[in-house]
Every structure is written in structure tokens, then in C-alpha cells.
């Protein structure tokens, strides 16, 4: 029996099992078993169908962040890519025109962003159909995913693509669950929770641990609404949490009333790549979601250089990170920095050290020892 057939068997078993107190242990085991089988698909132990790149999929990374275009064939990904970046990506009404990853670069607010046009995926991609495994493996490495959908069938296609990405360990628009799994040599299983367990009980937790043969462990759950899937994700440890924007393309083919309905889909931006409608809103949403910080340099006695910002990721935007982004020796040579902007206490500038956290569009002067 193939791995895909085993997955289908477990999913069928889960579907016909009613969830109640008596079945929670059994369901917990099934969920853990399903995750282990899907892991086999992501990382096959033999053969050449692994989750890595492959011909046409290994792309040199450039820019400060990467955005992957994911979608079914012929939804307009290549048209959007070509117009945004000036990079030629084969455009046609025929399905599967793009057969490899096509990279391009787009400047937004002075920051170079790499755009990756990925081949159209099909249903069953995570199970290895088409080139789905390679496509989704590249998507796993992106900082942001554009899920490009045809506005005439957005919700159906959205659900299928989400399922494919989820099956490959990609969690869209989610944060890692606040669960700690600390294995130990002895002492059995200890489960503590500082929030109510509303979607999982202790039997289900123990069943999942049993399936993974984890007999000695401390589990701490610190947020409400935790599910069995969340616990499995933490134990598996290979999940990636990536923001996604739903790009609803071809709005030139629908009415204003239909357009109003599309705006109700969370994290969505309706556009027309052919007519170039609403692209400014898409770029602003991209910038906001990437959560980047621009910092401008100010040489001594000169005006700030606003033409080439140093772009940092929020969460790694200290003065030390700023120095390291320019050259690793600068942090060692720095005596102090003067910062102007949102992070400074005074409009005339603030003298700070390496640990100071910078905000978007701050200006920094480094004074050396």
C-alpha cells in the first residue's frame, strides 16, 4: 500500500469516527499517524521525488525578502509577474505555461523584493501530482505567499490550495501555537495548562504522545483554543508559518456588487493584472505584511541618504542589526549612534547603543571609537 493510500485510509477512519469522550484517545492516535504519513510524503527516504528543488526550482535568493506566487494554472500569475518586475514569464491561455520558477525583482519604498513565479499547482500537489512537491517546497522558503485566484471561482480554489499547502507543513496567516514540549529521561507524562482545554482533552494528548512513543515529557499549554493538530505541529517541529495575501485576479470580468463581496475575504486584494487595476493597494498590502523597517544612513556633516535605505526585518532591527547589515566590523568599531525618527526620544536626535530598537524611516549616524 502506498503512502497516499495509507493517508486516505486514515482520513476515512477519522471521518467516520464520531468525536466524543470515548473516542478522543483513538482520534488523537489517528491524527498523529496522519501527520507521520504526511511527513513521509514531504521527505521521502528514497527516490528522487524529495521536497527539494530540482531542475528549474533552485533559485538564487536576492533582495531583502521573497514573495512566491502560488495558484492554479492560467489565473494570471505570469501576467502580474511580468508587469510588476519587467521579467518575462511566459504568458498564455494554455494551462501549465510556466514550468520552472521564474525570479524577478521589484522595488517597493526603496527596498528590493524578490518575486518568484511558481508553476501552477494542481489538486493533489502535496501528494506528488504534477510538479506540486517542488512548487510547494519553494513556497515554504518564502517570506510571503501571494495566492492568486480567479475571481469567478475564488472560494473553491482558495480551499483547495490551502489544503495543499497545509498538507506540506505550511501554516498560512497563523502564529506558532504557545505549547512547550520538553522531553526528559524519566518521570512519565506531565500536562499543565494555563488556559482552558476547549478543543483537546488529556486523553487525546496522551494518545498523540503514545503514537510518537513519547513516554517522558512535560507538556505546557499557554493559550486557549489549542487543538490536537496544534500539538502535532509542535511535536513534528517542521512547520513553517508564513503570511499569505489572496490576490483575487480578473476583477475586470465582474460587477461592482460582486467586487464588494470579495473584499469580505480576509487578507484579500482584488486586482486586474490585465487592466492594471488596484495594483497600488496590492503593493501597500505586501509592504505592510512583510513588516520591514527602512533605516537611512547619515554621514557626518552631510544630509541623510534617502536613496538607498538599509532594510531590516521587524524583530531584528536593533542598531547592531543595522550595523551588521552594512558590514560586520562596524558594530565592533561603534562608539555610539545618534538616531532621529520615531524611535528617538527627542526630535533633535538621541544618542543610543547597539541594543536600541529602530523604527521605520529612522535616520542613523554611527560614531566610531
Provide the pLDDT for residue 318: 97
pLDDT tens-digit map of 114-169: 998 877 665 554 455 545 567 777 888 899 999 999 998 888 899 989 988 888 88
pLDDT tens-digit profile of 213-266?
A: 999 999 999 999 999 999 999 999 989 999 999 999 999 989 988 888 888 899
C-alpha cell read off for 228: 490536537
Task: Quote the strand ranges of the chain, DSSP E.
Answer: 65-71, 102-108, 111-117, 144-150, 170-172, 179-183, 189-193, 217-221, 240-242, 244-249, 268-270, 292-297, 305-313, 334-340, 350-352, 362-368
Residues sharing a CB contact under 8 Å with residue 70, sequence separation 6 or more, in sequence order: 118, 121, 135, 136, 139, 145, 146, 147, 148, 161, 165
Grid cell, residue 349, equals: 536626535
More confident position, 58 or 86: 86
Placement of cell 493538530 in the chain: 229
Strands 144-150 and 65-71: parallel
Q: Tens of pLDDT along 318-366?
A: 999 999 999 989 999 999 999 999 999 988 999 999 999 999 999 999 9
For the chain, give the percent of residues with pLDDT over 90. Answer: 53
Task: Report yes or no: 239 and 233 within 8 Å, Cβ to Cβ.
Answer: yes
Contact present, 161 and 72 (Cβ < 8 Å): yes
Cell digits for 11? 482520513
Report how far Cα 23 is from the mean position of its chain's Cα atoms.
Answer: 34
* CA 184 – CA 205 distance, rounded (Å): 17
Amino acid 19: pLDDT: 82
Stronger pLDDT, 31 or 57, i.e. the higher one: 31
For residues 87 and 96, the answer to whether their CB atoms sit within 8 Å is no
Residue 44 pLDDT level (bands cut at 50, 70, 90): low
Amino acid at each position: 500500500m502506498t503512502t497516499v493510500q495509507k493517508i486516505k485510509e486514515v482520513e476515512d477512519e477519522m471521518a467516520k469516527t464520531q468525536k466524543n469522550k470515548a473516542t478522543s484517545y483513538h482520534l488523537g492516535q489517528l491524527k498523529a499517524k496522519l501527520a507521520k504519513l504526511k511527513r513521509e510524503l514531504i521527505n521521502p527516504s528514497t527516490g528522487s521525488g524529495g521536497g527539494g528543488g530540482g531542475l528549474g526550482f533552485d533559485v538564487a535568493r536576492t533582495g531583502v525578502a521573497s514573495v512566491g506566487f502560488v495558484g492554479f494554472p492560467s489565473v494570471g500569475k505570469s501576467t502580474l509577474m511580468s508587469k510588476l518586475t519587467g521579467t518575462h514569464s511566459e504568458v498564455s491561455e494554455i494551462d501549465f505555461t510556466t514550468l520552472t520558477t521564474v525570479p524577478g525583482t521589484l522595488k517597493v519604498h526603496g527596498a528590493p523584493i524578490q518575486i518568484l513565479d511558481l508553476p501552477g499547482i494542481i489538486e493533489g500537489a502535496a501528494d506528488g501530482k504534477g510538479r506540486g512537491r517542488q512548487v510547494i517546497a519553494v513556497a515554504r522558503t518564502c517570506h510571503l505567499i501571494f495566492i492568486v485566484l480567479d475571481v469567478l471561482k475564488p472560494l473553491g480554489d482558495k480551499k483547495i490550495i490551502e489544503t495543499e499547502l497545509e498538507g506540506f507543513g505550511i501554516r498560512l496567516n497563523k502564529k506558532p501555537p504557545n505549547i512547550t514540549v520538553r522531553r526528559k529521561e524519566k518521570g512519565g507524562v506531565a500536562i499543565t495548562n494555563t488556559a482552558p482545554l476547549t478543543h483537546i482533552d488529556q486523553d487525546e494528548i496522551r494518545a498523540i504522545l503514545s503514537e510518537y512513543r513519547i513516554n517522558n515529557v512535560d507538556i505546557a499549554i499557554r493559550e486557549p483554543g489549542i487543538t490536537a493538530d496544534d500539538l502535532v505541529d509542535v511535536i513534528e517541529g517542521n512547520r513553517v508559518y508564513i503570511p499569505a495575501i489572496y490576490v483575487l485576479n480578473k476583477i475586470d470580468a465582474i460587477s461592482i456588487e460582486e467586487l464588494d463581496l470579495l473584499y469580505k475575504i480576509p487578507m484579500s486584494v482584488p486586482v486586474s493584472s490585465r487592466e492594471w487595476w488596484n495594483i497600488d493597494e496590492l503593493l501597500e498590502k505586501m509592504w505592510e505584511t512583510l513588516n520591514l523597517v527602512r533605516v537611512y544612513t547619515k554621514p557626518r556633516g552631510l544630509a541623510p541618504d534617502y536613496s538607498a535605505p538599509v532594510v531590516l526585518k521587524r524583530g531584528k532591527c536593533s542598531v547592531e542589526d543595522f550595523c551588521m547589515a552594512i558590514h560586520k566590523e562596524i558594530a565592533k568599531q561603534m562608539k555610539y549612534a545618534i538616531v532621529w525618527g520615531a524611535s528617538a526620544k527627542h526630535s533633535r536626535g538621541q544618542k543610543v547603543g547597539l541594543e536600541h530598537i529602530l523604527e521605520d524611516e529612522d535616520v542613523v549616524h554611527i560614531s566610531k571609537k
